[in-house]
């Protein structure tokens, strides 16, 4: 059930209205039912997988919580909980990649293996709720939270439907108590949530979904495109993936806020970052902080020698690349970002103001966009070939002219740029809410009509699945 589908526009109002209508002591059960119904609408069997991941994390944390000090049982419970929790992710997401890599290696050394090819469909959202469950187990082991004794309440934490499929990745310390708290209908939160959802639909339907076929036209026929087309498509993909993923986060956060529940911020104008390090403080915040807290810092973080610090950075970003996809191009993408951060560590910091900051923002955007080539390409060889086209065939290509000039999409991008710049120092919702009632409602109606005319019912509109569902 996509957030952009009519089914969701029926599902969510029913869930929200009944949430406030039923007695408080039953609301969490209603949300649990809604989460499993939402997830199983994709495939009924997915509910079994979601429950298994939930049960493993709950049971492992329960043993940890009941074990004293640094007992072997406590450590074994952590190891088993993490490994079992990762086992589903490894099987569904990486088994085909490992088998293909092993086959290629054996062929290279002269052997002819008879390893059967596998084609496994990755259940949507698996990477996100697996990490959320793993984070919970580790938090219990560290003593940051107490183990939840009620399996059903823990199941709600893992399956809360707004952020189930693509985050933001929740932390039990903040999200679990919020899900259990009493939330009466709050008009201010409801209108803030609806405004966030409206912005999410705008980014997804007006910008991301219009950009997707233009990007695909270049990346799917990369052998025949000119270098300038690769550059334009890559810059457009940078906008597409931002709008696509930030749209999902806005829709998830907005839907939760309507019910009075707070989800963590996931994007903070990332393309206005003046360094790659700052970019990762603004992009996919819930995942980048997850890797920081559960991988980078346990490895030693930056409180070690410079060489080990760089090792920790590279390991973290290589794992991050592999999390995004079981392919060497994603590993290259992660390695490139790791190298960016190591390179920045050698450069002396300077005041980030005025023209200097503008130049750094532009350079960071170029570096991040270049890395997106590896992320979007259909394999590592395809990425390298496309980069070669930029420098060896900048103007000539067999593919005809691709019309990157779509007025509605370009208008959407312009609005996005100004909105992000304004949001750096101001609250856009306050600007809207302080207007007179007539002005506010005129804006709401105009925005909805605009999205319907050029999104849902646009002549060249093709609804697309959210990009991060693939990961």
**Count of CA atoms in the C-beta half-sphere (13 A) of 343:** 10
Residue 235, domain member (yes or no): yes
Residue 234, domain member (yes or no): yes
pLDDT band at 101 (very low <50, low <70, confident <90, very high): confident
Find the helix or strand (DSSP H, E) in which 85 lies: helix 72-89
Comparing C-alpha atoms, which of 348, 283, 351, 347 is closest to residue 317? 283
Tokens of 11: 């599902």
Mean of pLDDT values over 277-284: 95
Length of the chain: 471
Mean of pLDDT values over 382-409: 81
238-257: pLDDT as tens digits: 999 999 999 999 999 999 99
In the chain the first and final C-alpha atoms are separated, in Å, by 17
Residue 216 shares a structural domain with residue 314:
yes
Contacts of 82 (CB under 8 A, 6+ apart): 60, 134, 137, 138
C-alpha–C-alpha distance, residues 131 and 294, integer Å: 10
Assign 3-class secondary structure to 273-335: CCCHHHHHHHCCHHHHHHHHHHHHHHHCCCCCCHHHHHHHHHHHHHHHHHHHCCCHHHHHHHH
* Residue finishing a domain among 139, 164, 184: 184
Residue 226, domain member (yes or no): yes
Residue 259 shares a structural domain with residue 381:
yes
* Residue finishing a domain among 157, 184, 211: 184
The pLDDT score that the predictor gives to residue 32 is 97
Comparing C-alpha atoms, which of 453, 376, 424, 396 is closest to residue 201? 453
Residue 98 shares a structural domain with residue 240:
no
Residue 264, domain member (yes or no): yes
Residue 26 shares a structural domain with residue 95:
yes
On the question of pLDDT at 68 being above 80, the answer is no
The pLDDT score that the predictor gives to residue 421 is 94
> 344 with 279: CB under 8 angstroms?
no
Contacts of 217 (CB under 8 A, 6+ apart): 233, 399, 402
Residue 272 shares a structural domain with residue 176:
no
Residue 176 shares a structural domain with residue 194:
no
Residue 322 shares a structural domain with residue 308:
yes
With both helix axes pointing from N to C terminus, report the angle between 328-346 and 306-324 in degrees, rounded to the nearest 10. Answer: 150
On the question of pLDDT at 403 being above 80, the answer is no
The pLDDT score that the predictor gives to residue 84 is 87
* Residue finishing a domain among 344, 368, 392: 392
**Domain tally, the chain:** 2
Q: Which residue has the tokens 């793993």?
A: 134
Assign 3-class secondary structure to 171-189: CHHHHHHHHHCCCCCCHHH
Residue 318 shares a structural domain with residue 230:
yes
Residue 294, domain member (yes or no): yes
Residue 159 shares a structural domain with residue 256:
no
141-188: pLDDT as tens digits: 998 999 999 999 999 999 999 999 988 999 999 999 999 999 999 999
Q: Which residue has the tokens 């599902």?
A: 11
What is the DSSP code (8-state) at residue 309? H
Tokens of 350: 């300077």
Tokens of 59: 């049971």
Residue 122, domain member (yes or no): yes
Residue 233 shares a structural domain with residue 341:
yes
Residue 197 shares a structural domain with residue 271:
yes
428-457: pLDDT as tens digits: 999 999 999 999 999 999 999 999 888 776
Residue 402, domain member (yes or no): no
Residue 169 shares a structural domain with residue 211:
no
Catalytic residue among 154, 284, 324, 337: 324
pLDDT band at 406 (very low <50, low <70, confident <90, very high): confident
The pLDDT score that the predictor gives to residue 35 is 96
Provide the 3-class DSSP secondary structure of residue 128: helix
Residue 73, domain member (yes or no): yes
Comparing C-alpha atoms, which of 25, 286, 280, 308 is closest to residue 175? 286
What is the domain range of residue 284? 188-392
Q: Which residue has the tokens 């640094």?
A: 70
Q: Within 10 A of 418 (CB to CB), how many other CB atoms are there?
A: 10
426 is catalytic: no
């Amino acid at each position: 059930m996509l957030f952009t589908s009519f089914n969701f526009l029926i599902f969510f109002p029913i869930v929200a209205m009944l949430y406030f209508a039923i007695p408080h002591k039953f609301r969490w059960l209603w949300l649990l039912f809604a989460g499993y119904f939402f997830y199983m609408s994709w495939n009924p069997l997915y509910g079994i997988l979601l429950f298994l991941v939930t049960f493993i994390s709950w049971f492992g944390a329960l043993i940890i919580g009941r074990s004293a000090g640094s007992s072997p049982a406590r450590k074994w419970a952590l190891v088993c909980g993490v490994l079992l929790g990762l086992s589903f992710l490894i099987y569904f997401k990486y088994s085909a990649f490992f088998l293909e890599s092993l086959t290629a290696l054996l062929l290279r050394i002269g052997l002819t293996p008879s390893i059967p090819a596998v084609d496994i469909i990755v259940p949507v959202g698996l990477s996100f709720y697996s990490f959320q469950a793993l984070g919970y187990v580790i938090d219990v082991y560290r003593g940051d939270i107490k183990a939840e004794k009620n399996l059903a309440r823990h199941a709600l934490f893992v399956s809360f439907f707004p952020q189930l499929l693509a985050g933001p990745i929740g932390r039990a310390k903040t999200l679990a108590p919020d899900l259990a708290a009493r939330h009466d209908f709050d008009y201010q939160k409801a209108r803030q949530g609806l405004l966030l959802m409206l912005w999410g639909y705008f980014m997804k339907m007006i910008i991301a979904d219009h950009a997707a076929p233009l990007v695909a036209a270049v990346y799917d026929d990369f052998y025949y495109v000119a270098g300038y087309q690769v550059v334009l498509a890559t810059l457009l993909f940078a906008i597409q993936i931002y709008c696509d993923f930030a749209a999902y986060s806005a829709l998830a956060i907005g839907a939760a806020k309507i019910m009075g529940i707070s989800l963590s911020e996931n994007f903070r104008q990332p393309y206005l970052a003046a360094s790659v390090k700052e970019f990762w403080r603004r992009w996919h915040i819930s995942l980048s902080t997850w890797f920081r807290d559960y991988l980078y810092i346990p490895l030693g973080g930056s409180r070690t020698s410079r060489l080990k610090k760089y090792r920790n950075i590279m390991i973290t970003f290589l794992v991050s690349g592999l999390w995004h996809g079981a392919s060497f191009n994603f590993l290259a993408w992660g390695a490139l970002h790791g190298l960016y951060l190591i390179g920045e560590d050698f450069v002396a910091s300077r005041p980030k103001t005025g023209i200097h900051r503008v130049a750094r923002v532009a350079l960071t955007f170029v570096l991040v966009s270049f890395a997106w080539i590896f992320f979007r390409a259909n394999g590592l060889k395809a990425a390298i070939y496309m980069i070669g086209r930029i420098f060896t065939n900048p103007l000539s290509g067999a593919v005809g002219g691709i019309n990157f000039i779509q007025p509605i999409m370009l208008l959407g991008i312009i609005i996005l740029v100004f909105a992000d710049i304004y949001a750096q120092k101001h609250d856009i919702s306050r600007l809207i809410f302080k207007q007179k009632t007539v002005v506010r409602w005129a804006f709401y109606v105009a925005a909805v009509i605009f999205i319907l005319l050029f999104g849902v019912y646009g002549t060249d509109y093709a609804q697309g699945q959210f990009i991060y569902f693939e990961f």
